[in-house]
Amino acid sequence: MSKKKHVTLNVNGKTEEFLAEPRELLIYTLRERLNITGPHIGCETSHCGACTVTIDGKSVKSCTMFAVQAEGAEITTIEGIGGPDNLHPLQEAFKEHHGLQCGYCTPGMITRATKLLEEIPNPTEAEIRFGMAGNLCRCTGYQNIVKSIQAAAAQMSAAKEAAE
């Protein structure tokens, strides 16, 4: 029997402490231990990006990281980005521009897109496709996903200008 490890994480602003087997993947910690079910398990092989979360400011696939590796980390999931009563501009844009069909990839798409727009506030279509390359949509809704991200970028830039 392997030795369990004490893990402390901050998820969406809340501190979580627990004992985990070293082989526990972060996506299972989030979904099954903490009941944070926004990040999805699509392929569980690092390809699809449905499990994408932000760890210490960077997009990471939570199916390809052990919970013990995230010791002390700050994690943001889709739940920490916006909710029904306070949609993030990206969530609003995905809704308005039909950026989702079945919705399975959407939490990962939007979580990744929040970081993409921090890296490149006004990305071109090519930059969006390159920057979102780790997130797959099986409904093949890429055209509208690109449109949604562009619309959110425009909205966020306008809001930032208005604030300045």
Partner 1 sequence: MYETNFHKAATAQEAAALLNRSEDGKILAGGQTLIPTMKQRLADPTDVIDVSAAADLRGITIAGDQVTIGAMTTHAEVAGHAALAALCPSICKLAANIGDPAVRHRGTIGGSLANNDPAADYPAAALALNARIHTTSREIAADDFFEGMFTTALEDDEIITAVSFTAPAKGGYGKFPNPASRYAMAGVFVAKLADGSARVAVTGAGEDGVHRHDGLEAALSADWAASAVDGVEISLDGLLSDLHGNAAYRANLVKVMAKRALG
Q: Which residues bind partner 1 (CB under 8 A)?
A: 1-3, 5, 21-23, 25, 44-47, 49, 52, 58-61, 64-66, 68-69, 71, 112, 115-116, 131, 133-135
Residue 147: what residue type?
K
Q: Would you say 59 or 91 has its CB closer to partner 1?
A: 59
In the bound state with partner 1, the residue whose beta carbon lies nearer, of 87 and 104, is: 104
Q: Provide, rounded to whole angstroms, the least separation between the CB of residue 6 and partner 1.
A: 11
In the complex, least distance from residue 110 CB atom to partner 1, rounded to whole angstroms: 14
Structure tokens at 18: 């627990």
Q: Which is nearer to partner 1, 61 or 147 (CB)?
A: 61
Which of 69, 155 has the CB closer to partner 1? 69
In angstroms, give the least distance from the CB of 102 to partner 1: 21
| Closest approach of partner 1 to the CB of residue 11, in Å | 18
CA 93 – CA 116 distance, rounded (Å): 15
Assigned token pair, 142:
């890429």
Query: Minimal distance in Å, beta carbon 143 to partner 1?
Result: 18
64 or 150, CB closer to partner 1?
A: 64
Q: Scanning the structure block, which residue is given the tokens 């690109």?
A: 146
Residues whose CB is less than 8 angstroms from the CB of residue 123 and which lie 6 or more positions away in sequence, other chains included: 116, 117, 131, 149, 150, 153
CA distances from 134 to 1, 22, 24, 122, 156 (A): 35, 25, 22, 19, 23
DSSP annotation of 50: T
Q: What are phi and psi of 12, to 5 degrees?
A: 50, 40
